[in-house]
Structure 1
């Protein structure tokens, strides 16, 4: 990982994605660096090691594990990232916050998630995903809990333009669906953590059945990401009160909104025609402005 080859906005997200793969002691060192006020390019290796309670060799080892050439490369990247306006947006919520402070913090955390997700989004993978979704005979979406709601949202959008997708949030139904997929189909797994067993098992079986697979997750090194053909990642900082799912959900919805537009663009006339038909079909269910 070098500053010449990576957008600075992606430094924080890439490190956060690696955190689940660090030991508690290694994670403590990273938290020491990010939690330190006045961290800059003059902070010596020895000082960070002392503050984290580890050896200097351990700090260097962690920097390399995170993808940097060494401590200096890591220090420079973190320092430059910390100077970005987006890096300063995230602030922890407090029980003493006023309503205005709560709104500001929640909105800024979401804005940061959008900015940094955009920085790490792989456009080649995005285009491949759009092509597969457009061409697929069957599109099966797998997710549980909040991830299932995201799957339903995008399924609804696709239906509006005449592209049908099935959503499964039951582990048995997922496996039944996956077993029937083939080479002309795509299975999409939605999981914030990338560790949801039901989704992983279904995507694994779908791939074994010959289907192409896409993962929508917050961690590109997760078990789900490891078995998918294509991975589209969101990124968001955690919060003790809100968790990280809230902001990540907004970022994932934006990725999927963009995918929806990209798929519609591949046959715009058909999408426009079907949009008119589906809108007309539900017009009778809407009330006029004068209605009660």
Structure 2
């Protein structure tokens, strides 16, 4: 919850920013003080305090205080707010969107541009030398790997995605120096991906890892693109992690596109023109 407030600060009105800073300065005191005292300490009106709570996606001051107490007492930020069984559609909309926006803003603030630069240069160099570019992922991350293949295919980059563990191991065994593999994982603890990464690295291929910091897989590759989020990797239906991985791939694909030179824009223009016949006027 506190991380989410920090990430939302730039988008808040000046008066609401003062309330936010009051929360961040002493969350325990904020949760126990009456609205009049909170307004006086922040130098705002009482309606502004309530408006701030609603801007953060809560029903009002009481709901905000309740969640704040839980966040402080548990010591874990309520960035990923679970949807309750009695939530209305509007509540679900706010919670899902806010969870995603908070994760994106956190990634924007925490991402290493140097690591992204290294990864983009490695993929661009592999493309220019005609070597192999591959994407690995299993389960939900396997779908992201397929999306990555599609994004790079549109750039004219020949790539392939594997979501089967046996295929990953076999393909990694055929990689060599100059090849590049991007491994995507939510948990960073999938055995098949660890095995394929180790094989590819031993064979001299450049390994780029998109996964959570501190995981075994994060340390197994040459370049780590951290994808940290508040969603546990054991969730049965992950949402934020999938969207964050897609965002990382979008950033990486854009950086690679800028390094492919002047030949790319005409090619993309031709693809767009050729697709016009596939659409209704």
- What CA deviation, in whole Å up to 9, does each residue of 1:159-216 have, x standing for no partner? 1111111101111111111111111111111110001111111011000110010111
Q: What TM-score do the two structures reach when normalised by structure 1?
A: 0.66
2:94 to 79, 104, 115: 104
CA contact (8 A) 2:165 2:192 kept: yes
Q: Secondary structure at the match of 2:82?
A: coil
1:126 aligns with 2:120: no
Which one has the largest radius of gyration? 2
What is the distance in 2 between the residues matched to 1:209 and 1:270?
Answer: 32
Structure 1 residue 268: Cα displacement: 3.6
RMSD of aligned residue pairs (Cα, Å): 3.0
Identify which of structures 1 and 2 has the higher relative contact order when contacts are C-alpha pairs closer than 8 Å and 6+ apart. Answer: 1
Alignment of 1:73-92 (within 5 A): 90-92=80-82
- 1:70-124 C-alpha deviation (Å, 9 max, x unpaired): xxxxxxxxxxx98xxxx77643210000000000000000001101112221111
Distance 2:102 2:189 in 1: 24
2:271 aligns to what? 278
| Secondary structure in 1 matching 2:101 | helix
1:153 and 2:143 correspond: no
- Unmatched runs of 5 consecutive residues or more in structure 2: 7-26, 31-70
Identify the residue that residue 236 of structure 1 maps to in structure 2.
229
Q: Is contact 1:9–1:119 with CA below 8 Å preserved after alignment?
A: no
Structure 1 residues 178 and 242: alpha-carbon distance in aligned structure 2, compared to 1, 3 A threshold: closer
Cross-structure match for 1:164: 158
Query: Which runs of 4 or more aligned residues in structure 1 lie more than 2 Å from their structure 2 counterparts after TM superposition?
Result: 87-92, 238-245, 276-284
Q: What SS class does the counterpart of residue 204 from structure 1 fall into?
A: helix
Q: How does 1:252-267 map to 2 (within 5 A)?
A: 252-267=245-260
Aligned partners of 2:176 and 2:29: how far apart in 1? 52
Aligned residues: 213
Equivalents in 2 of 1:171, 1:243: separation in Å?
20
Shift in Å, 1:278: 3.2
The yes-or-no answer on 1:216 pairing with 2:210 is yes
Q: Secondary structure at the residue paired with 1:188?
A: strand
Return the TM-score normalized by structure 2.
Answer: 0.68
Q: Which runs of 5+ in 1 are unaligned?
A: 1-7, 13-36, 41-80
